Structure formats: C-alpha cells, structure tokens
Amino acid sequence: MAWDPGQYLAFAGPRMQPAVDLLARVHSENPATIVDLGCGPGNITPMLQQRWPDATITGVDNSDEMLARARDAVPGVDFINQDIFTWEPAQKFDLLFSNAALQWVKGHDVLFPKVMSLVAPGGVAAIQIPRNFEAPSHTLMTDVINAGPWRELLTPVRHDVPTQRPEYYYDLLSPLVKTLDIWETEYLQILDGENPVAEYTKGSWLMRFLSYLDEPWKSEFETDYRARVLKAYPQRADGKTLFPFRRQFILATL
C-alpha cells in the first residue's frame, strides 16, 4: 500500500513514546553497527544517532514514500528499500531496533528467527509491535467489512493479522537467544481533534483496507468507520479523546 508520511506523523508524539521507552531499556554500550528495521519516515533514527553518535546506522523499509521522507529528515544515514524476507546484508548488526514495523509482515514463525539472524553474537534486538487488534479501534474495521458490499474483497485481508500473544514469542525465541525480556504496556493516549482515533488509524492500519478499495467504496468505507469509531471514543468535556493502545516489547541478547 502507498503510505502517507504526513498522515502517519500527525500523531508523532504517541507513536514515538514506545520507542523512547524501549530505547531506555537497551543497555548496549558502544554498538558499531545499528539497523533501524522498518524505519518508516526516519522519526526514530535521530534518537539512535544521538545515543550512539559513532555508530554506523542503516535504515531499512519497503516504502518509497517513507524512505523519501527519511532521507530528507536524517542526512548521513544509509536508507535502503528492502524486503525483510529477502534481505541478506553483508554484515550482522550489533543492535537491531524495530519500532512498530513487524506487525505488517506475515509469518512471524519465520520472520522472527530471520530477524534474530541479523544480529551479531553478543548483540541486542529491541522490538516493539502494536497489539491493539482486540480494541474497538481495530475490531470496528471488521464490523464495517462485514456490513458492506466489499465484504468478499476484504475478508481475506482482515484475517492477515500476524501479531501473537507474548507467550508465542517466548516459545519461538527463547531457544535462539541468550536472554529474553517480553512485556506489554497499554498507553492511554490523549488526543486532540474532532475524531482523532479515526485520523490515527488512517495513518496506519485503516489504510490497509482503504488501499484495496476504489471510489465510491473507499469513501463509503471510511465514512462508516469514522461514525462507528467516534461513538466508541467520544470527545470528552475538555475536548480531549482518550485512546488506550496496547503495545508489546521484546528485548533479546544473542
């Protein structure tokens, strides 16, 4: 799908906070090589630069739109367009950092061992993936799919949610790594605007479905979803909207 970096970055603060929290848990002293895996528009990359100014950093994504934004925003970093399943870098990395990217890739039983294979012995993998798919912000998309003429088209897309519960990743990764920490945090995101949850998801998961639709279905789908999500996340008396969002963190040393 074609990404809209501006739509995604409209909520840069809430999207970046989990990366800040994960970065605080990384105790790698002087990694020489770092990969920002699924770097998107490069909004996290400067934090890696600031923390480890002497490291060589590579940003990897498969969106031309996001990479163009990243190259403009973060000069001095090598940003490359690669698919994680086919990417075979010439070296392994001392630190692999991935914020809110791997939930887009199917086949986590194959993907996560592949990701760990990119980390050098003694290196660190630090990963954050959203796990908010059971919340109204995401289940309402399924309701809209079932209620409209696009049901047959979008039902196969709806079933492609790869993110699993924490115990799945423990069983998958514990034989492959030396140490493993897995935890979840639910952030109470406090948003501004008339229907901010709809705007938030339009920068990420909602686009997954809209990208399959042409007009007038595309507008009809979004209109239906926006009405439903506004009822689920109403604006409060102070003008704010509360949007709880669950995220899963994985920190491993190889």
The per-residue pLDDT for 85 is 85
Domains detected in the chain: 5-253 (3.40.50.150)
The per-residue pLDDT for 217 is 97
CA distance linking residue 181 with residue 163, whole number of Å: 17
Supply the DSSP string of 66-128, one letter for each residue. HHHHHHHHSTTSEEEE--TTT---SS-EEEEEEES-GGGSS-HHHHHHHHHTTEEEEEEEEEE
* Tens digit of each residue's pLDDT, the chain (254 residues): 555 555 555 566 788 899 999 999 999 889 999 999 999 889 999 999 999 999 999 999 999 988 999 999 898 899 999 998 889 999 999 999 999 999 988 899 999 999 999 999 999 999 999 999 999 999 999 999 999 999 999 998 876 678 999 999 999 999 999 999 999 999 999 999 999 999 999 988 899 899 999 999 999 999 999 999 999 999 999 999 999 999 999 999 99
The per-residue pLDDT for 4 is 56
Task: Judge whether 208 and 157 are in contact, CB under 8 Å.
Answer: yes
The per-residue pLDDT for 161 is 72
The per-residue pLDDT for 7 is 58
Helix (H) or strand (E) holding 64: helix 64-73
